[in-house]
Structures are given as structure tokens and as C-alpha cells.
Amino acid sequence: MADTLNQIFTGLSIASILLLVSLGLAIIYGTMGVINLAHGEFVMLGAYSVWLLQTVFGLNLLICVVFAFFLVAAVGWLVERLIVQHLYKRPLDTILATWGVGVILQQGVRLSAGANLRYIKMPDWLTKAVPIFGVDVSAYRIFIFLLTVALLALTYFLITRTRYGFRLRAVTQNAEVARCFGINAARVYSLTFAYGAGLAGVAGALIGPLKSVSPDMGTNVVVDAFMVVVVGGVSSLLGTVASAGLLGELSGLLAYLYNDTLAKALVFFGVVILIRIRPEGMFTVHVRRG
């Protein structure tokens, strides 16, 4: 029983991290149709933002997470305004451009901060273990899970219950008609891209204490994020949540039975089979686009 609970908690921990990384990616692609290959570098920037704030100003991790969101969101806003907005409805050009942005960001960090591994310190109260049903669970992983749930609820509220969400859904369905009703589609797209980038920054800020911070750290996590989005269905927020939970639990179980490397390979193979059978993903939201 203890082993089973331990595997469930491990899977939830993996799923929460996957969801954090993929949530911003799902929003950007699902609503804007932009395949952002620089998403991994936004995750990396979030981690380096925390490292810089801790090193220079000695700020607490929780405060750094808030700053990381706004700093990376600002970078995302600039990328959208300067590059991405000129490439809408040109998917191949967008893929190439965002890949180039990712390379520039990665090399820029390597030149300015160095290629050495950096480390982020977490608060002492998050380094302890919390007993749950007889199983010791890391307090930091519980914190990540709760914060992920909070960010998911906030994202759902923004999309479904606010004026911004109404405008975003209108622009997604038909940008030209939305402009006729006075909606500034360009501004909506910019804010959406910035918000998705900010979520990636938060993901990087929270992943940083678990792993070493390096310029290429985002390359590994973005592959898993793309798998989550594709399996869940690119236009479905619910699908992203379900996909992250499924892949997280499956990865944790396979890693327990075999090893991390084989687990990743088996999960990837399963994803390939799934999208061969169901290319639209597990959940599909049919949206009329003008």
C-alpha cells in the first residue's frame, strides 16, 4: 500500500511539472495557432531569473517566482511584437523564427551568465517531508502541485470569465469580425503570448531547485511539453490537464519498474502510437475559425 501511494504521489509530482511547462504552450498554440519552439528557452529564462534575483538581491524563492513571471512575460511580449505578429498564418516561418529566437536566448544566457551549472535555494520549510497516509512526501513537490492547481484555475477563470477571455475567444473564432466590433486583435494576441511565456517562466522558476540550472535546460522539458499538448488535444485545456496526469503517472510507474531512460522511451513510443490512431488527441474542441 505504501509503495502504491508513493508511486501515485510521484506521478502527481511529475504531472504537475509537465502541466506547468505545457500550460503556456497549450494556450499559445491552442488560441493563436503558433508553434513556439522558443518555449523551452522561456522556461530556462524563468530559472535564471530566480538565480539572478537570489544571487544579487538575496530574495526569497516565492518572491522570485512572481518576478520571474513578469520578466519572462515581458520577453514574450517583445518577441511577439517584434517577430511573431508578422508571421501569423505562416506556420513554417513561425517555427523557424521561434527556433532562431530560442537559439539566440540560449546563447545569450551562455555568454552573459556562463555555461556553468547554477543552483537555486529553496526556503527551509519547503525542504522538509510531509507525512501523507503514512508516506513521506516532499513539501516542495506538494507546493508545486498546489501552485499548479491555482494557476490552472486562474487560467480557466481568465479565459472563461473575464472581458479579456471573451475577446480572446472572439478573435480565435474570427479575427476579422472581432475587429469589426472594436476588438484589438493584435493586442489580444500580444497579451496571450506574454501570458503563455510568463507561465513558462514560472515553470522554470519552480523546476530550478529540483534540477541544475543551465542554458540548455529548457530543451529537454519542452519535448515533454509538446507531447502533453499533442496527446491532450491542442485546443483543449481539459485535455492538457488529463494528458499531463496520464503521462506523469505512466512515467512514474515505468521509471519505478524499469529506469528513467527506458520509461521516457516507452512513453514516447506510446504517444507515437496514440497520435497515429487519433491524430487530434484525446480531447478535441471544435472551434469555428473565420
pLDDT, tens digit (0-9, with 9 covering 90-100), for 5-62:
777 777 787 788 888 888 888 888 877 888 899 999 999 999 999 999 999 999 999 9
- In a domain, residue 87? The reply is yes
Q: CA angle 110-113-115, nearest 5°? A: 45
Nearest to 65 by CA among 199, 157, 254: 199
Domain membership of residue 248 (yes or no) is: no
Q: Say whether pLDDT at 289 is over 60.
A: no
Which amino acid would we find at residue 211?
Answer: K
Domain annotation covers residue 124: yes
Q: How far apart are CA 33 and CA 286, in angstroms?
A: 14
- Residue 30's pLDDT is 76
* Closest by CA position to 80, among listed 200, 175, 199, 194: 194
Q: What residues make up the domain containing 94?
A: 24-217
Mean pLDDT score across all residues of the chain: 87
Query: In the predicted model, what is the mean pLDDT of residues 77-83?
Result: 95
Q: How confident is the model at residue 137 (pLDDT cuts 50, 70, 90)?
A: confident
Q: Provide mean pLDDT across the span 205-229.
A: 88
The whole-number average pLDDT for the span 155-174 is 89
The alpha carbon torsion through 12, 13, 16, 17 (nearest 10 deg) reads -150
Mean pLDDT on 95-115: 94
Residue 285 lies in a domain: no
Is 234's pLDDT higher than 70?
no
Sort 147 into a burial class: Cβ within 10 Å, 0-12 / 13-18 / 19+: middle
- Compare 184 and 261 and report the one with higher pLDDT: 184
- Per residue in 168-199, pLDDT (tens digit) is 888 888 888 888 888 898 999 999 999 999 99
Query: Regarding predicted confidence, which is higher, 32 or 64?
Result: 64
Angle between helices 61-82 and 39-57 (to 10 degrees): 140
The answer to whether the CB of 61 falls within 8 A of the CB of 50 is: yes
Q: How far apart are CA 45 and CA 78, in angstroms?
A: 14
Helix (H) or strand (E) holding 135: strand 135-138
- Tally the residues of the chain: 290
How far is C-alpha 71 from the chain's CA centre?
15
pLDDT, residue 57, reads: 93
Q: Is the pLDDT of residue 284 over 80?
A: no
Tell me the C-alpha distance between 147 and 83, whole Å: 31
Q: Is position 4 within any domain?
A: no
Please give the DSSP secondary-structure letter assigned to residue 125: G
Region 104-126 average pLDDT: 92
Residue 145 lies in a domain: yes
Three cell numbers written together for 202: 514560472
79: pLDDT strictly greater than 90: yes
Residue 15 lies in a domain: no
Average pLDDT over residues 78-98: 91
Looking at residue 235, what is its pLDDT? 62
Decide if 175 is inside a domain.
Answer: yes
CA distances in angstroms from 235 to 107, 137, 231, listed in the order given: 32, 33, 11
Answer whether 16's CB lies under 8 Å from 148's CB: yes
Q: How many domains does the structure of the chain reveal?
A: 1
**147/153 Cα distance (integer angstroms):** 10
Query: Is 29 exposed, middle or buried, given 0-12, 13-18 or 19+ CB atoms closer than 10 A?
Result: buried
